[in-house]
Amino acid sequence: MLLAELGPGQKFVIVRIAFGGEIGKRLVDLGFVSGTKGEVVRAAPFRGPMQIRLGDYDLIMRRHEAKLVEVELLPQTDEGETMPEVRTPIDLRPHLQSRFGPGPAGIRHYHRAFGKKSRPCH
């Protein structure tokens, strides 16, 4: 089975890489060697690039390169797997508004080089 045929959430073991050159050397340096376990995290629509997780790091791979990596599909098991950590986004708007928003009486910003407040420039 080829790596390009897998979908998000499927786990695999690399069997062999069918190309060399600069791309092959780079993938070997990144950990694409026989016996390495990995997982497809997500795939772009319209056969776009794939996000692959090998060990503790992620990488993005083009589909035409993924077609040259032969893998063996691992069975999906729910044993011992934990839910991924849910990260909540941080809203920076209140902090940015007070720092970069318009000040009193139309004064927009402070020029440190001149030591005085400037008039609105927009």
Q: pLDDT by residue (tens digit) across 32-56?
A: 889 999 999 999 988 899 999 998 8
Q: In CATH, what number is assigned to the domain containing residue 37?
A: 2.30.30.90
Q: Which domain holds residue 20?
A: 3-73
pLDDT in tens, 60-72: 999 988 988 999 9
CA–CA distance, 10 with 74 (Å, rounded to integer): 8
Residue 14, H or E segment: strand 11-17
Give every CB contact of residue 62 below 8 A, 6+ residues apart in sequence.
49
Is 35 among the domain residues?
A: yes
Is residue 37 in some structural domain?
A: yes
Please count the structural domains in the chain: 1
CA-to-CA distance for 122 and 96, rounded, in angstroms? Answer: 18
